[in-house]
Amino acid sequence: MQIPRLHPDTIEQVKQRIDIVEIISERVVLRKRGKDYLGLCPFHEEKSPSFSVSPTKQMYYCFGCNAGGDAIKFLTEVGKQSFADVVLSLAQRYQVPVQTLEPEERQQLQRQLSLLDQLYEIVALARAFYQHVLRQPQGEESLSYLKVNRRLSEETIQQFQLGYAPPGWDTLYRYLVEQKSKPVQLVEKAGLIVPRKEGNGYYDRFRNRIIIPIHDYQGRTIGFGGRTSIDEQPKYLNSPETPLFNKGKTLFALDKARDAITKEDRAVVVEGYFDAIALHAAGIKNVVASLGTALSLDQVRLLLRYTDSKTIILNFDADAAGNKAAERAIGEIADLAYKGQVKLRVLNLPDGKDADEFLSHASDAAQKYQELLQTAPLWLDWQIERFLINRDLKQGDIFQQVAQKMVELLSKINDESQRSYYISQCAESLSSGNQQLRRQLEQSFIAKFKKQNQPLPKGSLKKDNLPLLPTGNERNLLQRAESLLLIIYLHCPEYREIILEILEAKDLIFTLPHHRFLWQQILELEPTIAESNQIENPLISMLQERSIQFAKEMAQVNHLFHLSEKCTEDIIRTPMVIRSAAACLEIVTSEKHRRYCLEQWQKLDPIIDLQRKEYYWQEFKLADKRIKELEPFRQSNFLEMIELT
């Protein structure tokens, strides 16, 4: 939808209401360091965290690439959204009343915003309906199942708002549409009814099923899980994707578990609804469920917001399906685990039990479960153990297969001491007590890993051919290029659209910190420029006003606000300078990408990672080609001709 111009009061209220740590931690894994938080920068590739978030200043800053700003700025850059779209989304999230600069636009905007509110209301009505039916005669069997088979108390049933969907084809439809007068299109959009194939009406999605409401982290009902009460497939049925419910970004019981996760400083993830409910009922409340899918990166980031130690324990079923689900989950977040940004552990309960079954076998089962959590193995140990289960290492081909899997697993460990430890562990496991074989295996593993740092193939790349980042005169040229782009943007409004298009199309950023800061201020002020037509150049006036608030930062760029006649004439006479200046910025970006690809290429084993190695080599060559194409523009004397003061 087209977003009307938002009133400054709305923007200011949103800024006061939001929490930058909460916003950024949804996309970046943050660890607390003193008063601030630290993580890997989402704007450039890095191995050591240099991205800092300050809750007191409500600002972020990267010491590696100099990206910085507030929460709104972060979302505009990461999500590639407009300023107005981000503010509007945050206003909905934090329940800030939205005002527009044009009164006649407000009614239309409020109608658009009310869609989600209407869906929340419809889903809440459905939840209350299901809860009511559970207490009626037709729900007696399901209520008995919950209390007897699942051993749930009345308190737990009410806490999780469990219900029952009657067997009729359109009972909920008639309740919501005919009795409550809810628009049928919205009831369908909420995922509660399904259009008939014949095109003559709708039927209820959930029928003759125990209903488990799914809530967002704020406790609002957003969807449902339905368990069949008869021998019917599928056993569990979830709500479809809706404007409220995204299965890959939702965790069951997170609203009830988040405080306990923070207190315990670890999160436990189980597979099923009733596993999570049973553990909560047993007093183990730092537990969520993954809604029957592999744990996604988005779900992990949700959990990491609540634990400083970043500890997550996977307790999936110990059968083949559960182990496969655990391996899929590990695959999703292994990169974070290798980097130490997640402390991942895996718990398999004795005798292949799931959590619900385990809690039912003894009166002290809850205490034993807590003890097992304490001793749950790290994911690497669990994975290595999985390689060895039911494998006859006396057979040569099987021995080779297991050894190769171990090499692949350990090759991605960056920490040398940790890798040495696991080399010893794997060699011990494979040698079956044969000390001579163990030593040979250790040497073999070490030799394979040394290949990751092999030298470049002869004749492929020469050290002399590797270009350096701009230094000396070249650095001065980059300084002038960025200055000129900013000058043209500030003083020549007719060129602004061209500059924006070039920067966005080529994904360019300002490298120098003071230029980057000025550009961030410009982007923040852009939405309000149109409201100041009475000022000849409102952008410069607004920026000069900010010099009071940011005196130190603006002092380095104040000279760009005042131009001599000679500079103005030169800029207008040489529009090609925009292209030349942009070429300088693109060369720096291409240089960084080329160096990164070269580093990755050098690390990869040609036997294990041939495909990835080839990919980085091709990317290196493309970046090198692009730099050569840009060289003529960088060497142009357009930039040197212009007088900046």
Task: Show the CA angle centred on residue 507, arms to residues 503 and 509, nearest 5°.
Answer: 70
* pLDDT tens sequence across 101-141: 565 665 665 665 578 788 999 999 999 999 999 999 999 99
Q: Is the pTM of this model over 0.75?
A: no
Residues 576/466, Cβ–Cβ less than 8 Å: no
Residues 346/382, Cβ–Cβ less than 8 Å: yes
Please name the helix (run of DSSP H) or strand (run of DSSP E) that holds residue 421, with its range, or none: helix 416-431
Report how far residue 290's alpha carbon sits from residue 272's, in angstroms, rounded to the nearest whole number: 7
Which phi and psi angles does 121 have, rounded to 5°?
-65, -45
Average pLDDT over residues 146-172: 95
Residues 177/187, Cβ–Cβ less than 8 Å: yes
Pinpoint the alpha helices (H) of 178-219.
184-189
Q: Nearest-CA neighbor of 418 among 428, 410, 426?
A: 410
Would you kindly state where each structural domain of the chain is located, as residue ranges?
8-93, 110-245, 249-384, 390-453, 473-641
pLDDT at residue 610, rounded to an integer: 61
Edge to edge, the sheet with strand 221-228 lists 163-165, 209-215, 221-228, 236-238
Q: Nearest-CA neighbor of 401 among 383, 382, 418, 388?
A: 388
Report how far residue 161's alpha carbon sits from residue 133's, in angstroms, rounded to the nearest whole number: 12
- Please give the residue that has the higher pLDDT: either 22 or 269: 269
Q: Nearest-CA neighbor of 509 among 50, 67, 75?
A: 67
Report how far residue 263's alpha carbon sits from residue 256's, in angstroms, rounded to the nearest whole number: 13
CATH of the domain spanning 110-245, picked from 3.40.720.10, 3.90.980.10, 3.40.190.10, 3.30.43.10:
3.90.980.10
* 234 upstream amide cis, omega within 30 of 0: yes
Question: What pLDDT band is residue 459 in, cutting at 50, 70 and 90?
Answer: very low
pLDDT at residue 352, rounded to an integer: 74
| Best mean pLDDT range from 210-224, 294-308, 312-326, 338-352 | 210-224
pLDDT at residue 437, rounded to an integer: 84
Q: Strand (E) positions, 258-340?
A: 267-270, 287-289, 311-315
* pLDDT tens sequence across 346-393: 998 888 788 999 998 878 899 999 999 999 999 999 999 989 988 888
CA torsion 408-414-420-424 (nearest 10°) is -30
Report how far residue 321's alpha carbon sits from residue 294's, in angstroms, rounded to the nearest whole number: 11
Edge to edge, the sheet with strand 68-69 lists 31-33, 36-39, 51-54, 59-62, 68-69
Report how far residue 621's alpha carbon sits from residue 332's, in angstroms, rounded to the nearest whole number: 30
pLDDT at residue 50, rounded to an integer: 87
Average pLDDT over residues 529-543: 64
CATH of the domain spanning 8-93, picked from 3.40.50.10470, 3.90.79.10, 3.90.580.10, 1.25.40.90:
3.90.580.10
Q: Nearest-CA neighbor of 608 among 386, 322, 412?
A: 412
**Is 5 a residue whose pLDDT tops 50?**
yes
**Is 523 a residue whose pLDDT tops 70?**
yes
Report how far residue 368's alpha carbon sits from residue 360's, in angstroms, rounded to the nearest whole number: 12
* pLDDT tens sequence across 306-336: 888 889 999 987 677 777 778 888 887 888 8
Report how far residue 213's alpha carbon sits from residue 131's, in angstroms, rounded to the nearest whole number: 10
% of the chain residues with pLDDT over 70: 84
Q: Do β-strands 31-33 and 163-165 pair in parallel, antiparallel, or remain unpaired?
A: unpaired
Sign of CA dihedral 605, 606, 608, 613: positive
Report how far residue 187's alpha carbon sits from residue 432's, in angstroms, rounded to the nearest whole number: 62
Report how far residue 573's alpha carbon sits from residue 571's, in angstroms, rounded to the nearest whole number: 5
pLDDT at residue 293, rounded to an integer: 67
Q: Kindly indicate whether the domain formed by 249-384 is annotated with CATH number 3.40.1360.10.
A: yes
- Torsion-angle region of 390 (φ positive above 0: left; ψ -120 to 50: alpha; else: beta): left
Q: Nearest-CA neighbor of 386 among 320, 291, 298?
A: 320
In angstroms, how far apart are the furthest CA atoms of the chain? Answer: 89
The shares of helix, strand and coil residues in the chain, as percent rounded to the nearest 5, are 60, 10, 30
**Is 248 a residue whose pLDDT tops 70?**
yes
* pLDDT tens sequence across 603-632: 776 656 666 777 778 888 888 888 888 877
Residues 217/26, Cβ–Cβ less than 8 Å: no
**Is 92 a residue whose pLDDT tops 60?**
yes
Report how far residue 294's alpha carbon sits from residue 161's, in angstroms, rounded to the nearest whole number: 25
pLDDT at residue 256, rounded to an integer: 94
Average pLDDT over residues 288-302: 83
Report how far residue 467's alpha carbon sits from residue 591's, in angstroms, rounded to the nearest whole number: 8
Residues 215/174, Cβ–Cβ less than 8 Å: no
